[in-house]
Amino acid sequence: MTTATTTTVRMTGISKSFLGVPVLQGVDLELRGGEVHAVMGENGAGKSTLLKVLAGVHRPDGGTIEVDGDPVSFAGPTDAQRAGIAIIHQEFTLLPHRSVAENVFLGREPVRRMQVDRRRMVADTRELLDWLGEDGIDPTDAVSSLSVAQRQVVEIVKALSTNARVLGMDEPTAALADHEVELLYDLVRRLRERGIAILYVSHRMREVFDLSDRITVLKDGRFVTCAPTGELTSEALVRHMVGRDLGEYYPDRAAPADLGPVRLALRGAGNDRVRDLDIEVRAGEIVGLAGLQGSGRSAVARAVFGVEPFTRGVLEVDGTPRQVTRPRTAVRLGIALVTEDRKGDGLALRQSVRDNTLLVRRAALRGARSRARSDLPALLDLVTVVSRGEHQEVRFLSGGNQQKVVLAKWLAVEPKVLIVDEPTRGIDVGAKRAVHELLRDLARRGVAVLMISSELPELIGMSDRILVMHDGALAGELPAGASEGAVMALATGHGIGEVA
């Protein structure tokens, strides 16, 4: 008998409310050593809260937690760590100005002769990094110099360094590119082999089926079901999560008649991130921009929008060459950018739905047009925002609704060119579909859409054409419905010919 049969953690009847709003109601969960236990549910179903209760971040209002049969009560994250439970949070929990080693041992710095034992911190961190095969990261590097994927690795190292027996992961792949996801899978499997219990929260169906041994489904804070992964189909799982069928469905692509004139054109454009870009996006089409993390996808978006402008080549809007050196110019020209960092760049979190929605209009347009808000309800309806009214602060909305507010913000100025960077990152299935339909609808009404996504099925399902970037330049163009293999081949620097 292996350790896989011993129960490590049992949560029974867990309840938790925030400001009187129940988030968890009597949830049960059993987690065994050596298993990957997936928790699924739409945003707002209570997955993250459940994880945070387990991690000692939130105290449950009711219910019990047992570790190896002994009831425990965590006053804070440190107590949970001591019981062998560590969590990788959805938001990165690293200090950018501090080194990798300092982050890994934050709050648990080894002390020797009254001083922090920096040598040991660095050595232990290096050992863990080597064990993961991550020798590209040095323990003395500042976290601010690392890529998103490398920061993820640091998060995992941080959790492992507590000698955790139970590891909670909240949407660990949300910020990763496809090739990095594979590395994470490997890592998770290795952790499982070592008898670690993994609580895996994710929206991505494929991941959950690839990785997990059992799946628990939550809906609206309540336990729905728990079953071995092998006994569930993806259709059944979706039914449990949303109470309705939602297959892999994308709206119809553009017909040739839908295509209008070229809205956005780049001719030989470049800066110190990207080079030799020749791109045309027509009214009525959605052009996908694929590439690995660091290939320059987002740099193109930032350059077009004037954040880090092009220094070479020509940028044309509706056939006229333009100098876009600041976002304000871009907005005036009818270019909109939905950034990948919704909370950091996209929203004023403490302001209301209304103020966020009208932010760009007030900033960019003059006079009466900027003050008009008669069409605000129509705008919010259009993007189907669910809120407790237009005065609610956006930080209280779910991820999906926040993203819809970002979209509404741009629709308020009726853009001609819409660039969306990871438009559905970290939002639930229903909201995702709403965003997809909205993007297609906008294209149909004559907007030129440039869509960046790390999620290949989404990119392929949505795009009328796919441009693939590699190492700061365009590696090639693929037609609608190209295979994931073809995209990855170009993205990793191989020609199309080699794939076929």
Partner 1 sequence: MSTVHENIAPARRTAARPAVRRRLTPVVIVYLALAALLVVGSVLVGMRGEVLLDQAGILNILTRATALGVVAIGQTMVILTGSLDLSVAYLIGLTSLIAAETMAGREGMIVPGLLLALAVAAGVGLVNGLVITVLRANAFIATLGVALILRGYLEHTYTGPAGDVPRGFQHLGYDRIGPVPVAALLMLAVVALSWWYLSRTRPGYHMYAVGGDVEVARLSGVPTRRVIVTAHVLCSVAAGLTGVYLASRLGSGAPYVGTDAGYDLESIAAVVLGGTLLAGGRGGVVGTLGGVLILATLDTIFDDLEVDPFFKDVVRGIVLVTAVALYARRMMADRARGRLA
Instruction: List residues binding partner 1 (CB under 8 A).
Output: 57, 76-78, 81, 89, 93-99, 102, 106-109, 111, 114-116, 118-119, 122, 135-136, 138-141, 144-148, 158, 273, 293-294, 297-299, 308
CA triplet 309, 311, 316: central angle to 5 degrees? 70
For partner 1, the closer of residues 108 and 395 by Cβ is 108
In the complex, least distance from residue 492 CB atom to partner 1, rounded to whole angstroms:
16
Produce one character per residue of 26-39: b if its CB has 16 or more CB atoms within 10 Å, e if not.
Answer: ebebbbbbbbbbbb
Whole-angstrom distance, CA of residue 44 vs CA of residue 400: 10
Residue with tokens 């209570």: 46
Q: How far apart are CA 432 and CA 426, in angstroms?
A: 9
Q: How far is the CB of 104 from partner 1 (least distance, A)?
A: 10
Mode of pairing for the β-strands spanning 448-452 and 286-291: parallel
Cβ atoms of 394 and 351 within 8 Å: the answer is yes
Relative to beta strand 214-219, strand 222-228 is: antiparallel
CB of 115 to partner 1, least distance (A): 5
Name the residue nearer to partner 1 (CB basis): 136 or 268.
136
C-beta closer to partner 1: residue 162 or 212: 162
Q: Which amino acid is at 416?
A: K
Rank residues 238 and 330 by Cβ distance to partner 1 and give the closer one.
Answer: 330
Distance CA 133, CA 248 (A): 35
> Quick count: other Cβ atoms within 10 Å of Cβ 389?
9
CB of 93 to partner 1, least distance (A): 5
**Tokens 């470049």, located at residue:** 270
Q: C-beta of 231: minimal distance to partner 1 in Å?
A: 35
**Shortest CB 452 distance to partner 1, Å:** 10
Please name which of 357, 446, 457, 461 lies closest in space to residue 407, comparing C-alpha atoms.
357
Nearer to partner 1, 141 or 258 (CB): 141
Shortest distance, position 151 Cβ to partner 1, whole Å: 9
Q: Quick one: 333 or 491, whose CB is closer to partner 1?
A: 491
SS3 285: coil
CB of 134 to partner 1, least distance (A): 11
Distance, in Å, from the CA atom of 355 to the CA atom of 273, rounded to the nearest integer, reads 34
Of the pair 24, 292, the CB lying nearest partner 1 is at 292
Classify 143 as helix, strand or coil.
Answer: helix
> Closest approach of Cβ 479 to partner 1, in Å?
26
Cβ at position 87, least distance to partner 1 in Å: 8
Nearest residue to 155 (alpha-carbon basis) of 82, 90, 204, 199: 90
Q: How far apart are the C-alpha atoms of 16 and 74, rounded to whole Å?
A: 14
Residue (94 or 448) nearer to partner 1, CB? 94
Q: How far apart are CA 130 and CA 126, in angstroms?
A: 6
**C-beta closer to partner 1: residue 247 or 344:** 344
**In this structure, is the dihedral angle defined by the CA atoms of residues 266, 269, 270 and 275, taken in order, positive or negative?**
positive
By beta-carbon proximity to partner 1, the closer residue of 324 and 385 is 324
